[in-house]
Structure 1
Amino acid sequence: MTQRARWRSIAGLGARFLTVGAISTLIEIAVFNLLYLVFGWDPVAAKIVASLVALVNAYFGNREWTFRHRDRRGRTQEIVLFVLVNAACTALGALLVWAGIEAAGLLLDREIGPFIVNGVNLMSIVVVVLVRFWLYHSLVFRTSPPKTP
């Protein structure tokens, strides 16, 4: 495969991944705000639950569309890797939300409101999306190694 073809393939994967991710992100933001603003949950707890709800959409969208051409190593192993990767990504997202809220509170020297909390949440999503794509591509939905003759 030429370098140009490889980049086109990765760009196509990236576009499909971002589409699935955009839908999952909308789900995550809606659930986050429902839990945080409507039900008064702690932002970190709301982040964790919202991430887990969006995770269901992300698995099926990525398995059946983004990485459908990849070999399946067995549904159980794939799901275990998917859950482990997303547990780590959910923890990273929650850590980023917590750290961002703490930093914003210290910088502004006041209680921060929903606008800043949502800004912090969106920034955490951007970081986690990049990490998640790399892990899905290289670990969860990876291609089989070439067979030797």
Structure 2
Amino acid sequence: MSVVDSALARLPEVYRSLVVRHHEFLKFGTVGAITFVLDTGIFYLLKLSVLAAHPVTAKVLAVLCATALSYVLNREWSFRTRGGRRRPQEAALYFAVSAMGVALYSAPLWVSRYVLLLATPHTSRLVEEIADFTAGQVVGLLVGMAFRWWAFRRWVFPREAREQHRELQPSAPA
């Protein structure tokens, strides 16, 4: 019995069926949690040091680093039963969708800083930090995650591509 089977056996039936039915989303969320920690760490490391005057640039760089790790984890774990495209094509699609995600992740922070002026000298440093975290790490994350979940399943790792790929493979001799 695998570790996953053992863990599932311990869950009450109502939760077990939810976990089984939504396993891809739960894996995607786990990858998201891991990359959230990486993204947040890099964002604050850059924002509080070399890119203090450029928080949006710090956010974009942090998201790009997190996206690279996200591709590997999603390809090899979350969506490993999907896809079927050649890796270069799949990776290009993944990073194209992720580029759109970077814009969605960064937009709330840009609006907070440059439209709502929630930055010093217009507001206190504490308000600036709370606004940056809320806009960049909460709102941006939720908007970007929803878009990426939909787009990855639709374009990058579709079930149809895997099924079409299998149909094109010559059958093995019996």
TM-score, normalised to structure 2, is 0.72
Larger Rg: 2
Counterpart amino acid of 2:49? Answer: V
Look up the match of 1:100.
112
d(CA) in 1 for partners of 2:154 and 2:97? 11
Q: Is the 8 A contact 1:32 1:47 kept in 2?
A: yes
Look up the match of 2:55.
43
Q: Which sections of structure 2, spanning at least 5 residues, go unmatched? A: 1-17, 168-174
Look up the match of 1:131.
147
Look up the match of 2:171.
none
Counterpart check, 1:34 vs 2:45: yes
Report percent identity of matched pairs. 29
> Residue 85 of structure 2: which of 45, 61, 73 is its match?
73
d(CA) in 2 for partners of 1:45 and 1:10? 38
> Residue 13 of structure 1: which of 10, 19, 24 is its match?
24
Q: CA deviation at 1:120?
A: 1.0
The answer to which of 86-95 and 137-146 deviates more is 137-146
Q: Which sections of structure 1, spanning at least 5 residues, go unmatched? A: 1-6
- Count the aligned residue pairs: 140
d(CA) in 2 for partners of 1:52 and 1:24? 10
Q: 1:115 to 1:8 in 2, by over 3 A?
A: closer
> Residue 91 of structure 1: which of 78, 93, 103 is its match?
103
Counterpart amino acid of 2:144? Answer: V
Q: CA deviation at 1:41?
A: 4.4
Counterpart check, 1:119 vs 2:131: no
Q: Is the 8 A contact 2:112 2:131 kept in 1?
A: no
Q: CA deviation at 1:142?
A: 0.7
Structure number with the bigger relative contact order (C-alpha 8 A, sep ≥ 6) is 1
> Residue 55 of structure 1: which of 49, 67, 70 is its match?
67
Look up the match of 1:3.
none
User: CA deviation digits over 1:114-134, x for unaligned, max 9?
Assistant: 222111112111111111100
d(CA) in 2 for partners of 1:32 and 1:65? 25
User: CA deviation digits over 1:9-38, x for unaligned, max 9?
Assistant: 661111000000110111001100011012
Q: Is the 8 A contact 1:101 1:120 kept in 2?
A: no
Q: CA deviation at 1:113?
A: 2.0
Counterpart amino acid of 2:129? Answer: P
